[in-house]
């Protein structure tokens, strides 16, 4: 299948591009490399030393004989995107290419506006490009579990049957996102749902939970292929942050009470979920939503798990409850459905102590690269 991986230089996109290429698909990466620029802006870095995108795809070609084409450019530039569609004629468009940090979107007005423009307009351009050039192309869009927020009822996969004043309907599940970033995903969802309805586009929204880990079988083939690993308080996500904190003997930074519960998945499952979506396309006009996570944990549970694993490796770290920089529920009900991908064949890589140990050992190898000043949160929601 001809597949475009937009955002293919990023944390989820790079291993996905390799995985799909390994499976024999004809993969093209589209990326404007802005993630690397955020690092310059924030004086931050990946714990692992990542090669340039050019070096990455050249090494992949050298090792496997497979070619991954690259277009460096911005989804917000419609002329560029049109050219990519005309030249590549994608059968599936995997869309990872958004500004994905909640704290980054909450820095100030400029960052909130940038995040909205980048994400919402970029996605709208993709919808128009599909309509104009490849109406049969399946859009596989990365959404987020955070679109739903943390309601006091079970979270369904995209839709809920509601009975109101004696009448019934199946309606989009209510959205209560917790940052301007998460809000952009809700706006994307509405735009995609509308485009499916009016133009007959086929789309799958993968409402992904927090991703942890860094390696897949493909990124392990050579150090030049290593994935990025974010740890700073803006782009680092909970579990990966705690592991890097443990590696440098820093207190594990649980925000507030630590009862914040989220769905999590291993990066090895991210790549497989995208493959499953591609192999089982949505029907024409269908807007399908899959909840993409494998297990749920509270942040306190995660910190305690990592504290235990670190101890086994001879590292003593404390769990510290910091004043929460975010405005969010710290104790809440959380029960989300995630059966659609499992029914289609996903076999989850679960979070065992061995899995944690393996990632922690990787963090230990590169711990000298960690800039300690970037570990504590500085962006607040207020
Ligand atoms: P990332 O920042 O590592 O990668 C995103 C990539 O997209 C980067 O390489 C960046 O340069 C590129 N990009 C951004 N805007 C672009 C634009 N306008 N044009 C072209 N390229 C652009 O992020 P990630 O962690 O790989 O996340 C990928 C997607 O998955 C995002 O949409 C994110 O919202 C979603 N997601 C991520 C997680 C997670 O835990 N990492 C969880 C749920 C959902
Ligand atoms: N948290 C801590 N300590 C930390 C970091 C985070 O307690 O050091 C808490 C946060 O307050 C929050 C939870 O952990 O309650 C998750 O935060 P996070 O930074 O790991 O994840 P989040 O901001 O939700 O965003 C990440 C990705 C985003 C994706 C989202 C999936 O950056 O792209 O959409 O996970 S979800 O959380 O399901 O919405």
Q: Is the CB of 103 under 6 A from ligand 1?
A: no
Nearest CA to ligand 2 atom 16: 238
Which entry of 115, 144, 244, 294 is annotated as an active-site residue? 144
> Would residue 38 show up in a list of annotated catalytic residues for this protein?
no
What is the atom index within ligand 2 of the atom nearest the CA of 103? 23
Q: Would you state the pLDDT for residue 126?
A: 99
Domain boundaries, the chain: 2-374
In DSSP notation, 234-271 reads: TT--HHHHHHHHHHTTPPEEEETTS--EEEEEEHHHHH
Sign of CA pseudo-dihedral 370, 371, 376, 378? negative
Render the burial of 9-31: b for 16+ CB within 10 Å, e for the rest: bbbbbbbbbbbbbbeebbbbbbb
* Ligand 2 mean position, distance from CA 301 (Å): 14
Q: What band does 106 get if pLDDT is binned at 50, 70 and 90?
A: very high
Q: What is the ipTM of this complex?
A: 0.99
For residue 297, what are its two tokens? 């944990």
For residue 337, what are its two tokens? 């459905």
Distant-in-sequence, close-in-space partners of 331: CB < 8 Å, separation ≥ 6: 257, 259
Q: Would you state the pLDDT for residue 72?
A: 98
- Mean pLDDT of all residues belonging to the chain: 98
Task: Please count the other Cβ atoms lying within 10 Å of the Cβ belonging to residue 270.
Answer: 27
Q: How far apart are CA 219 and CA 268, in angstroms?
A: 11
Q: Would you state the pLDDT for residue 11?
A: 98
* Ligand 1 mean position, distance from CA 166 (Å): 43
> Would residue 66 show up in a list of annotated catalytic residues for this protein?
no
For residues 233 and 239, is the Cβ–Cβ distance under 8 A? no
For residue 274, what are its two tokens? 């995208």
Q: How far apart are CA 113 and CA 111, in angstroms?
A: 5
Phi, psi of 6, rounded to the nearest 5 degrees: -85, 130
Q: Using DSSP, state whether 214 is helix, strand or coil.
A: coil
Phi, psi of 233, rounded to the nearest 5 degrees: -70, -10
Q: Would you state the pLDDT for residue 200?
A: 98
Which entry of 148, 181, 255, 264 is annotated as an active-site residue? 181
What is the atom index within ligand 2 of the atom nearest the CA of 253? 8
Q: What band does 278 get if pLDDT is binned at 50, 70 and 90?
A: very high
pLDDT 10s digits, 336-347: 999 999 999 999
- Half-sphere exposure (CA, 13 Å, Cβ side) for 371? 12
Q: Taking residues 271-279, report their average pLDDT.
A: 98
Render the burial of 48-69: b for 16+ CB within 10 Å, e for the rest: bebeebeebbebbeeeeeeebe
Q: Is the CB of 299 under 6 A from ligand 1?
A: no
Q: Is the CB of 277 under 6 A from ligand 1?
A: no
Q: What is 2-374's CATH topology?
A: Rossmann fold (3.40.50)
Q: Would you state the pLDDT for residue 42?
A: 98
Q: Is the CB of 11 under 6 A from ligand 1?
A: yes
> Would residue 144 show up in a list of annotated catalytic residues for this protein?
yes
Q: What band does 264 get if pLDDT is binned at 50, 70 and 90?
A: very high
Q: Taking residues 278-301, report their average pLDDT.
A: 98
Q: How far apart are CA 194 and CA 209, in angstroms?
A: 24
Ligand nearest the Cα atom of residue 299: 2
Q: Would you state the pLDDT for residue 368?
A: 97
Q: Is the CB of 237 under 6 A from ligand 2?
A: yes
């Amino acid at each position: 299948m001809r597949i475009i991986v937009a955002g293919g230089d990023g944390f989820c996109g790079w291993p996905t591009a390799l995985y799909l290429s390994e499976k024999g698909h004809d993969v093209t990466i589209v990326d404007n490399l802005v993630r690397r620029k955020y690092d310059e802006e924030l004086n931050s870095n990946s714990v692992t030393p990542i090669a340039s995108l050019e070096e990455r795809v050249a090494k992949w070609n050298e090792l496997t004989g497979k070619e991954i084409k690259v277009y460096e450019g911005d989804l917000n530039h419609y002329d560029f995107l049109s050219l990519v569609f005309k030249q590549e004629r994608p059968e599936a468009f995997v869309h990872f290419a958004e500004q994905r940090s909640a704290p980054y979107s909450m820095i100030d007005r400029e960052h909130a506006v940038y995040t909205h423009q980048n994400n919402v307009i970029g996605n709208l351009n993709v919808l128009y490009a599909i309509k104009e050039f490849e109406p049969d192309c399946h859009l596989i869009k990365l959404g987020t579990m955070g679109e739903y927020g943390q309601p006091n009822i079970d979270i369904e996969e995209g839709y809920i049957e509601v009975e109101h004043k004696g009448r019934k309907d199946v309606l989009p599940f209510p959205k209560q996102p917790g940052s301007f970033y998460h809000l952009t995903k809700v706006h994307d969802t509405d735009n995609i749902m509308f485009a499916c309805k009016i133009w007959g586009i086929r789309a799958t929204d993968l409402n992904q939970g927090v991703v942890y880990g860094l390696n897949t079988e493909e990124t392990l083939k050579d150090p030049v292929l290593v994935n990025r690993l974010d740890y700073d308080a803006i782009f680092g996500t909970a579990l990966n942050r705690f592991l890097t904190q443990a590696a440098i003997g820093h207190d594990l930074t649980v925000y507030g009470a630590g009862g914040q519960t989220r769905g999590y998945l291993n990066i090895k499952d991210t790549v497989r979920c995208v493959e499953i979506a591609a192999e089982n396309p949505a029907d024409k006009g269908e807007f399908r939503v899959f909840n993409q996570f494998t297990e749920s944990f509270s942040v306190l549970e995660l910190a305690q798990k990592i504290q235990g694993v670190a101890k086994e490796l001879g590292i003593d770290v404390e769990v510290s409850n910091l004043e929460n920089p975010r405005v969010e529920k710290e104790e809440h009900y959380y029960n989300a459905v995630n059966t659609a991908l499992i029914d289609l064949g996903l076999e989850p890589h679960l979070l065992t102590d061995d899995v944690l140990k393996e990632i922690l050992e990787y963090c230990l190898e590169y711990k000298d690269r960690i800039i300690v000043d970037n570990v504590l949160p500085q962006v607040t929601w207020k």
